[in-house]
Amino acid sequence: MPNLNMQNEQPLFPTDYVSIMQRVDAVNPIKYAKTRNFIHGDVTYLSAYIARGVISVRQIMEAVLQKGYKPYAIEKFLQELAWREYYQRVWQIKKEDIFSDLKQEQPDYLHYQIPAAIVHAATGIQILDNQINAFYTTGYLHNHIRMYLASIVCNNAKSHWLAPARWMYYHLLDGDLASNSCSWQWVAGSFSSKKYYCNQENINKYTSTNQQQTFLDHSYEYIATMPVPAVLQETLTENYETILPATAAPKLDTTKPTLLYNGYNLDPLWRSSENVNRVLLLEPSHFKKYPVSKKVIDFMMALSTNIDGIVIYTGEVDALTKQYENGDLTISNAFISKEHPAFDYYPGTKDCRDWMFAKVEGYYPSFFSFWKKGAQALSKNKTN
C-alpha cells in the first residue's frame, strides 16, 4: 500500500502508464470492501487516474471481473465505482446546477466562507489536522477524511458547502467537479435526505487514534444541536489562482484532424493508432472558473507524457480552430474530443466516454435507483 510519508520511495501517484496498470492489476475487491473505511485500509489509489481520464471505471470493473470475481461477491467495490459514474450522469443533466443546492437548500447554514481552522489545519482534532497538512503535500485525502471534514465544515461550522468544496477541489489530484460538488452536498443535506454527522468516537475507530475531549467528543444527538464550536467560528474567504505553463500555439497539420485532450481526458489508448494532431488544451478561461493548484497542473502534464505525440497548449480552443479556417477540413471534421459537461463547447465530433453502464442514462434522484438499473445490466451482461 502506498505510504503517505514517502520521501525517496515511489510517489503516491506515479504517472507512468505501466505503474498505473500495475495498480489496477493489484486491486483486491474483497479486502477493499472490508477495510475501505479505515484510513490505512486496502484502498485502490486509482481515483486520480479515473478523475483524469487515464483509465475508466468500466476498465477497472472489467479487469476485476476477468479475474473470476462474481458481481454479487464484489458488489461494494462495484458500487464505489458506480458512484463516480452516477455523479457524472447527474452533471450531464443538471449541468451548472451542480454548483447550487440540488434537492433542497442546505439546512441551517450561516455563511459562504470556510473555517480558518480547516485551511490552517488547526481544528484541534490531531488526525484531521495531520491529514490536512498531508493533503497540501500529496493532493490526496482518504474518502472518510473528506466526509469528516465536510461534516465539520457544513454541519458544525455551518458553512455553506460551495466555498469549502472549491478549497478541496483546488488541491485534489483526483479533483472531479461532479463527484466533489455532489459529495459535499450529500454531507450537507442539500443532495440527500439528511445531514451526515461524525463524532470523535467514529473518527478514532477509523483512524486508529484515541483522542478525547475535542468538540466532537459527544453523542450524535448533542452534536446535531450544539452551537458552532469556538475553534470553528473564525472564517475566511479563499482566493485561488491557477498557474499555467507559458506555451506557444502549436502549428497544426491542418490536413489531419486534431484530438483535444484536457484534465478530464488523458487516456493514452484513445484513438492511439490514428494519424492525428494531439493537443492537451489548458484553457485559462476554464481554470479561472474552476481553479486548481500548480501541483494538479503538474500532475496533468506528467500524465500526458503517456500519450505519444501530444503537445501542451495554454490558450483557448479558438486559437486552434482558426488554423483550419482555410484548410482542407471543416471545423466539424477537424476536431475530436470526448464528451464531457465541462467542455460541451468544444467544436467537432465528441466520442462517448467508456461508461460502466452505457445504457443507464439520464438523471436518477438517488444513487441506489441508478445502481438498481446498473446491477440489472450487469446481471444480464449488458454493460456495453
pLDDT at 381: 64
Task: Decide if pLDDT at 57 tops 50.
Answer: yes
pLDDT band per the 50, 70, 90 thresholds, residue 240:
very high
- pLDDT tens digit string along 120-134? 999 999 999 999 999
pLDDT at 1: 38
Q: What is the pTM of this model?
A: 0.95
Q: Which residues contact 5 (CB under 8 A, 6 or more apart)?
A: none
- pLDDT tens digit string along 248-263? 999 999 999 999 999 9
Determine how β-strand 114-115 pairs with β-strand 235-236. antiparallel
What is the C-alpha separation between 101 and 181, in angstroms, rounded? 10
pLDDT band per the 50, 70, 90 thresholds, residue 3:
very low
Task: Decide if pLDDT at 267 tops 90.
Answer: yes
Task: Decide if pLDDT at 247 tops 50.
Answer: yes
Taking a C-beta distance cutoff of 8 angstroms, is the pair 55, 49 a contact? yes
User: What average pLDDT does range 60-79 have in this prediction?
Assistant: 95
Taking a C-beta distance cutoff of 8 angstroms, is the pair 239, 277 a contact? no
> What sign for the dihedral angle of Cα 114, 120, 122, 127?
positive
pLDDT at 371: 97
- pLDDT tens digit string along 139-168? 999 999 999 999 999 999 999 999 999 999
Task: Decide if pLDDT at 327 tops 90.
Answer: no
Taking a C-beta distance cutoff of 8 angstroms, is the pair 167, 136 a contact? no
Task: Decide if pLDDT at 9 tops 80.
Answer: no
pLDDT at 24: 98
pLDDT band per the 50, 70, 90 thresholds, residue 56:
very high
What is the C-alpha separation between 288 and 314, in angstroms, rounded? 13
Q: What DSSP string runs through 28-46?
A: -HHHHHHHTTSTTS-----
Full set of structural domains in the chain with CATH: 1-99+355-384 (1.25.40), 114-236 (1.10.579.10), 258-351 (no CATH)
pLDDT at 82: 97
How buried is residue 271: exposed, middle or buried, by Cβ count under 10 Å (0-12/13-18/19+)? middle
pLDDT band per the 50, 70, 90 thresholds, residue 75:
very high
- Give the number of other Cβ atoms within 10 Å of residue 381's Cβ: 9
Q: Which residues contact 27 (CB under 8 A, 6 or more apart)?
A: 44, 46, 60, 63, 64, 77
User: What average pLDDT does range 213-223 have in this prediction?
Assistant: 98
Task: Decide if pLDDT at 355 tops 80.
Answer: yes
And the C-alpha cell for 341? 459537461
And the C-alpha cell for 304? 500526458
When the pLDDT of each residue in the chain is averaged and rounded to a whole number, the result is: 95
